[in-house]
Amino acid sequence: MTSQSSKPEWEQKLHEAGARIEEDVRDFIRYFNDEVVPDIRKNGSDAVRAAARELNRLAQKMDERAGRTSPPSSSKDAPKP
């Protein structure tokens, strides 16, 4: 059983640890918003375009294996370079 005199010290340490964690979380959020999010916004569309090109190639291979011809690409469906 803990003595009454050690409880305030324990509570103080817990409070200090909580304050440090809160500051670390704020720093992480600030870093994420300032550094990571802009990079994702800048390069995210490139990643989606690359995935679209790969999916198009996969669909063509699937059509070839099934003995079908690929549907003609319309200009609206074609991935942009």
Given a cut of 90, whether residue 14 has pLDDT beyond it is yes
Phi-psi label, residue 78: left if phi above 0, alpha if psi -120 to 50, beta otherwise? beta
C-alpha 49/C-alpha 41 separation (Å) is 13
Given a cut of 60, whether residue 23 has pLDDT beyond it is yes
Judged on CB neighbours under 10 Å (0-12, 13-18, 19+), 79 is middle
Tell me the residue type at 33.
N
Given a cut of 60, whether residue 1 has pLDDT beyond it is no
Phi-psi label, residue 65: left if phi above 0, alpha if psi -120 to 50, beta otherwise? alpha
**pLDDT tens, position by position, 42-69:** 888 888 888 999 999 999 999 998 887 7
Chain position carrying tokens 């319309």: 74
Q: What is the pTM of this model?
A: 0.48
